[in-house]
Amino acid sequence: MRIDGARTPVRPRLVCGRVEATPFLKPWIGQNAMHEGGVRWHVMGESHYTRLEDGAYQRTPDLTQTVISDWALEKSAGGSFFTRVGAVVENKEPGSFDRRSTWEGIAYSNFVQQLLDGPRKPPTPAMLDEARSCFFGQLAISRPDVLVVLGTRLWEELPLDGVKLSPLQFACEPDWPILEDAWLYPLEIDDTLTFTIAVKIVHPSAGFRRWNWRVAARRAHTAMYCHSNVIEEALATYDIS
């Protein structure tokens, strides 16, 4: 029986992201990255850069896959960036794990679809607009639970679809950092609703004074451990469409 004057609470609307464009640069998808039952990790950097006169790498759809294969999987020395990313995903001291195995278990891509000609040169506004149009196309390929975003500069350029989450804390580890800025991206893929928690870490190429693998790993793993609760809360709180 409806009581006069009573109103059914209206839930806030949360709009799903939508795929606007297919990324030109195919994401790296490790052989074990899409296995059912495990956590799906996607690490996203800002951009590739290359000295075109060297002729080492060219802008082809397989560029990201080639770089990961050459540096994260094949080279036993060097490639500290790839070791640091692995430490975040594994939550282990750099060098204490099999880097090849780690990279076979994750997805990786760069946000910007063009090549820059130097490591410290920012993308142009046109490059960023193109990148945002391809963002959900990348997530549709990897379908990640957790998106680890490398660096503040990239974080500030991501699409604003979805919603900023309430602070997240992993209750079993009270000394771990509280995530004050994590973001939730809902995306419908083939009639299936997926949820990705995006979390920012200091860029792995930062100097030793700024880079702390434990802090970065704990931020990423807090997002991972909170994923199920975040989904439950989102489904209960929002009208998702």
Q: Nearest to residue 184, comparing CAs of 134, 133, 237?
A: 237
The pLDDT tens digits for 8-59 are 568 898 889 999 999 999 999 999 999 888 899 999 999 998 765 556 788 9
* 134-180 pLDDT tens trace: 999 999 999 999 999 999 999 999 999 999 999 999 999 999 999 99
Alpha helices in the chain (DSSP H): 63-68, 80-90, 99-103, 125-142, 152-155, 213-237
Distance, in Å, from the CA atom of 179 to the CA atom of 130, rounded to the nearest integer, reads: 29
Q: What is the DSSP letter of 56?
A: S
Taking all residues of the chain, what is their mean pLDDT, rounded to a whole number? Answer: 91
9 falls within a domain: no
> Whole-angstrom Cα distance, residue 133 to residue 70?
28
Does residue 159 fall inside a structural domain?
yes
Please determine, for residue 213, whether its predicted confidence score (pLDDT) is greater than 50.
yes
Structural domains in the chain (count): 1
Is 147 inside any structural domain?
A: yes
Give the model's pLDDT for residue 235. 93
The domain of 84 spans: 28-237
CATH, residue 87: 3.40.470
Query: Who contacts 156 (Cβ-Cβ below 8 Å, separation ≥6)?
Result: none
CB atoms within 10 A of CB 38: 11
What is the model's pTM?
A: 0.93
Q: How far is CA 9 from the centre of its chain?
A: 34
Classify residue 198: in a domain, yes or no: yes
Inside any domain, residue 73 = yes
Q: Are 179 and 167 in contact (CB under 8 A)?
A: yes
**CA separation for the pair 21, 11 (Å, rounded):** 30
- Mean pLDDT calculated for residue range 51-70: 83
Residue 12 lies in a domain: no
Listed residue (153, 147, 85, 151) closest to 123, CA to CA? 153
* Residue 8: inside a domain: no
Q: Is residue 226 part of a domain?
A: yes
* CA dist., res. 121 & res. 119, Å (int): 6
